[in-house]
Structure 1
Amino acid sequence: MATFTTKRIEALNVPGRYSDGNNLYLQVTKTGGKSWLFIYRWNGSQKEMGLGPFPAIGLADAREAARDALRLLKDRTNPQDPLAVRRAEEEAKREKPAFGVFAEQMLSDIELQWRNDKHRAQWRYTLREYCKPLWEMPVNDIDTQDVLKVLKPIWHTIPETASRLRGRVERVLDAAAAKGLRSRANPARWKGHLDHLLPKRHKLTRGHHAAMPYSEVPAFVQDLRQRENMSALALEFLILCAARSGEVLGMTWEEVDLDAKVWTVPARRMKAGREHRVPLTERAIEILDSVRLLSLLTSDSEQPKATGFVFRGATAGQLSVMSLTMQLRRMEKGHFTPHGFRSAFRDWCGEETDFAREIAEAALAHTVGDMTERAYRRGDALEKRRRLMDTWEGYLNCRRS
């Protein structure tokens, strides 16, 4: 008969082993530590199996674990050593690596086939950023619901990224199956599987991002400036620079020259694979000064210097892409996308200004003209683009309804 209650266990302070029945014992050490043991005999020898410390493992859980071990021990058709069974299960887990571990191994094996660093970085970024729910899961245990948990939050908001992510998860799981680490069907497969559970490809917004009309952007920016958080600052900076989300969120202090008022995005982080210089407006500088001051105030260094990512998340790492989308949702503008502000900027350039098309396209880091034309246009028109971005800022500073 069981003899323990939780109160009695808490009161025990004399070292020793105390039986609760069913081969379950509470061990109390000289220092007052308490833990559970399952003590039994197997092939004529006494064996002990630890069940965990008290109070992390409560009385009810310890009794349940002891009952499970006892069932293995006394199975009439196939008695088993509980300790050996546990060791086999732990070994099986070690043989089936976590999704994150295997994904990193696979990328190391195949990344040489990719022609540029940007593509390698995109693979790693999307898997690390969006597959966090899968990262620690054994690669063999991942099922359809696990994959949907990753895809559904971004399937409508950033469909192009979601589609690429699905294909990358499918490839990781296919590689795991090829190495004998998965025995189940691939839950990230599209045809005949996820195509029945998610909107079809042709229903997705491919190549077009829901853009706020440019006439509404000034009022939105004024509202955005009332929000004192890192996501709001990053989103306003994105709008001011007409930049892509990845360029802004991956921005580091080493890329910024505050004296020259220029942000230089390295080629490896640009979609076209070419370095891009961005002229910084007065308000963009103000945002960077605010973020830089916050960075210095939170630094532990005696001689602090802003380094690393400019726009940081709660854990001091890179601010996530989803944070910008969530900022729009909190402002009841979730039907628009961060990338859509580039379209709003381009529409404004064409409708409201006399700046040349080439200058507007250069501000967006778009390629203009054929190869011969580009060869003769060696400059990046930085100062002309600076005037354009200053005019854009002036437009944003005027409240519009």
Structure 2
Amino acid sequence: MASQVNKLSARRVETLTEPGRHSDGGGLYLAVSDTGAKSWVFAWVRSGKRNMVGLGSFKAVPLAKAREKAAEARQAVERGEDPRIVLKPASAAPAAVVTFGDEATAMMESLRPIWRSEVHSRQFENSLRTYAAEIWNRPIAVLNAVDIKNMLLPIWSEKHETATRVRERTERVFAHARAHGRYEGFNPAAWQGNLKDLLPKGKRVVSHNAALPFQLMPDFMAKLRSSYGQSYRLLEFIILTWVRTGEARGARWEEIDVTRRLWTVPGERMKAGKVHVVPLSDQVLRLLGNQNRPESGKGLVFPGPKGEELSNMAAAMRLRKLIVGMKHGETPVEATVHGFRSTARTWAGEVTDTPREVAEAALAHVVGNAVEQAYSRGDALEKRKGLMQAWADYCFSPVAPAIDATSLAA
């Protein structure tokens, strides 16, 4: 335990605003959050592991009282006891132990009404259940920054983006616990002044989804069309409509107007949260005509065996099989389902004279200025119809056709 104590003055405690932990000595720290909230924390090391316990907010616990609690905690450490137990008031009525999993579940239930989709809710929960498994059943009140660091370390370098999302979600769980009086002290999953100093510097890699070269599309589509199964048809639909996997997996018959040759994707299933209208080519209409449409005209277009949405990996797994042995020149092909959006966009830019704003609208991208944004509405629909039909014709041709792009550029 540090020998120098009483480093902070009452005035210093009152005026400190810099986020982080500020030492008073002897294991006592004033923790300042990014929002300016201040609380007392006592830290100690046992068996090489750093532990922390909250002593209360600085408004409720004056500096002198915090030092008394820290002294009591130091004595407990010297006796080999746990300060978290010793500092608990003897008269306090026993309370139900709330685990991290309990708190995470409660927080997710409170957020469910405002989440964009059930898929987002499942992703949030699954990431915590998977990567926070080691703290899931532990009492949230005793967890500290070292616990969170140890939880994140196994994936911090290899799956940095995933680890970053897990940390952010974990921080939200602790914020929820603090707001409801179930956790005291500094948020142990906070980044600034906390985990940023405990975790190795992660190299943030900007990854791009591998995309099949558009020159290989006719051959690839021939292989795809000769493959049978719901997941293959889903993949074909994704490619021909330029949509994201989740948007296609959730496609419903009531969203499709065969007469007008349009598919209207509701905003809650779109990344940007806005309705997206997709023109349907002849090839897509034939694909839909071969699907089993319920008499009610409602339900999923690509249901799983039990009527559920197909797995997020269903199309990806089929794609892996299809590209085995494929090469672009001498280079083995790599591809992802999401990468077909890039494939189509590159084809439109290099093979056709399609205006940029029309191609971006087909991808449901929000483009820069007001003039370009108009193309995401109905005034560009006719141009997008021509683009989608030309793309489907290209994909279904064994040899890349010569494209008359004048009708697309008009």
Equivalent position of 2:259 in the other structure? 259
- Name the SS of the counterpart of 1:277 in structure 2: strand
Equivalent position of 1:360 in the other structure? 359
Q: Does the CA contact (< 8 Å) of 1:139 and 1:173 recur in 2?
A: no
Give the Cα separation in 2 of the matches to 1:340 and 1:376. Answer: 23
| Aligned-residue offset at 1:359 | 1.8
1:217-366 paired onto structure 2 within 5 Å:
217-293=217-293, 296=294, 304-332=295-323, 335-366=334-365
- CA offsets 1:36-77 (integer angstroms, 9 cap, x no match): xxxxxxxxxxxxxxxxxxxxxxxxxxxxxxxxxxxxxxxxxx
Q: Which amino acid aligns with 2:240?
A: L
| Aligned-residue offset at 1:202 | 1.8
Equivalent position of 2:392 in the other structure? 393
Give the Cα separation in 2 of the matches to 1:289 and 1:193. Answer: 57
Give the Cα separation in 1 of the matches to 2:195 and 2:218. Answer: 41
| Aligned-residue offset at 1:312 | 2.6
| Aligned-residue offset at 1:167 | 3.0
Structure 1: stretches of 5+ with no match in the other structure:
1-91, 297-303
Equivalent position of 2:205 in the other structure? 203
Q: Does the CA contact (< 8 Å) of 1:268 and 1:274 recur in 2?
A: yes
- Name the SS of the counterpart of 1:320 in structure 2: coil
Q: Which amino acid aligns with 1:218?
A: P
Give the Cα separation in 1 of the matches to 2:151 and 2:253. Answer: 35
Give the Cα separation in 2 of the matches to 1:312 and 1:131. Answer: 27
Q: Does the CA contact (< 8 Å) of 1:262 and 1:278 recur in 2?
A: yes
Identity %: 36
Q: Does the CA contact (< 8 Å) of 1:263 and 1:279 recur in 2?
A: yes
Equivalent position of 1:9 in the other structure? none
- Name the SS of the counterpart of 2:136 in structure 1: coil
Equivalent position of 1:109 in the other structure? 110
Q: Which amino acid aligns with 1:358?
A: E
- Name the SS of the counterpart of 2:264 in structure 1: strand
Residues 193 and 394 of structure 1, relative CA distance in 2, 3 Å threshold: farther
Q: Does the CA contact (< 8 Å) of 1:209 and 1:339 recur in 2?
A: yes
| Aligned-residue offset at 1:130 | 5.3
Q: Which amino acid aligns with 1:107?
A: M
Give the Cα separation in 2 of the matches to 1:366 and 1:287. Answer: 26
- CA offsets 1:90-114 (integer angstroms, 9 cap, x no match): xx9x955684x654431343568x6
Q: Does the CA contact (< 8 Å) of 1:139 and 1:176 recur in 2?
A: no
| Aligned-residue offset at 1:147 | 6.9
Q: Which amino acid aligns with 1:308?
A: G
Equivalent position of 1:171 in the other structure? 172
Q: Does the CA contact (< 8 Å) of 2:262 and 2:279 recur in 1?
A: yes
Q: Which amino acid aligns with 1:106?
A: M
Give the Cα separation in 1 of the matches to 2:137 and 2:290. Answer: 46
| Aligned-residue offset at 1:318 | 1.7
Q: Does the CA contact (< 8 Å) of 1:106 and 1:172 recur in 2?
A: yes
| Aligned-residue offset at 1:138 | 8.4
Q: Does the CA contact (< 8 Å) of 2:100 and 2:138 recur in 1?
A: no
Q: Does the CA contact (< 8 Å) of 1:214 and 1:348 recur in 2?
A: yes
Residues 127 and 347 of structure 1, relative CA distance in 2, 3 Å threshold: same
Q: Does the CA contact (< 8 Å) of 2:129 and 2:136 recur in 1?
A: no
Residues 329 and 378 of structure 1, relative CA distance in 2, 3 Å threshold: closer
With the length of structure 2 as denominator, give the TM-score of the two structures.
Answer: 0.56
Which deviates the most, 210-219 or 127-136?
A: 127-136
Q: Does the CA contact (< 8 Å) of 1:140 and 1:181 recur in 2?
A: no
- CA offsets 1:7-37 (integer angstroms, 9 cap, x no match): xxxxxxxxxxxxxxxxxxxxxxxxxxxxxxx
Give the Cα separation in 2 of the matches to 1:312 and 1:175. Answer: 37
- Name the SS of the counterpart of 1:203 in structure 2: coil
Give the Cα separation in 1 of the matches to 2:196 and 2:219. Answer: 44
Give the Cα separation in 2 of the matches to 1:234 and 1:377. Answer: 24
Give the Cα separation in 2 of the matches to 1:145 and 1:230. Answer: 42
Q: Does the CA contact (< 8 Å) of 2:358 and 2:375 recur in 1?
A: no
| Aligned-residue offset at 1:386 | 1.2
Give the Cα separation in 2 of the matches to 1:95 and 1:330. Answer: 49
Residues 139 and 347 of structure 1, relative CA distance in 2, 3 Å threshold: same
- Name the SS of the counterpart of 2:310 in structure 1: coil
Structure 2: stretches of 5+ with no match in the other structure:
1-94, 140-146, 325-332, 401-410
Residues 209 and 127 of structure 1, relative CA distance in 2, 3 Å threshold: same
Q: Which amino acid aligns with 2:322?
A: M
Q: Which amino acid aligns with 2:343?
A: A
Query: What root-mean-square deviation, in Å, do the aligned CA atoms of Structure 1 and Structure 2 show?
Result: 4.3
